[in-house]
Amino acid sequence: MKIRRERAEDRPEILALVEAAFPESGEAKLLRELFAAREYLPELSLVAEARGELLGHVITTRAWIGKSGSLGLGPIAVLPEHQNQGVGSALMRATIAAANTLGEPSIVLLGSTDYYPRFGFAPADSLGIISPDPSWGSHFMALALDSFVPGAHGHFAYSEPFTAHR
């Protein structure tokens, strides 16, 4: 399996993959909108591929903590028949490495408190990042990257398409 940046010609397969992973959830519609958004960062839209088949995809888009730049991760999807085989973990590690290489300060997400802490994510409020929705509680998590400036804090804002779907 290799992790690489998505290409425009991958889009139909990526959208089908997301539909298979999250049937009837609206995640594929969200992803289409993220691809078209001004906050789309092509270097942070990654696929896992093996033998010419896309097994998984993750996208991370521009977001903000107050007026400072940050990243919002999601959706991340793995084909159902390839889940629990390390594909999602490989995509997460590659995303974190790419974001660090780009000098990004942080990645924020809404997700499982059983899964994301293994990558260093902690409740966002522990870093002074205020959730757009207090009901998310500890599921709203953040990872301080190498360029994170301690004391940079404030209200978190996802990219526009993400905000419209939540």
Instruction: Give pairs for 99-102: CB < 8 Å, separation 24+.
Output: 99/44, 99/60, 99/71, 99/145, 100/145, 100/146, 100/147, 102/43, 102/44
Q: For residue 119, give the nearest of 94, 102, 136, 140 by alpha carbon.
A: 94
Mean pLDDT of all residues in the chain?
94
Band of pLDDT at residue 161, cut at 50, 70 and 90? confident
User: Which of these, 104, 145, 155, 149, lies nearest to 125 by C-alpha position?
Assistant: 155
Per-residue confidence band for 24, with pLDDT thresholds at 50, 70 and 90? confident
Is the torsion defined by CA of 112, 103, 162, 9 positive or negative?
negative
At the topology level of CATH, where does 2-165 sit?
Aminopeptidase (3.40.630)
| Cα diameter, the chain | 45
Domain extents in the chain = 2-165
So what's the pLDDT on residue 113? 97
User: How far, in Å, CA of 147 to CA of 62, rounded?
Assistant: 15
Average pLDDT over residues 93-104: 98
Please name the amino acid found at residue 58: V
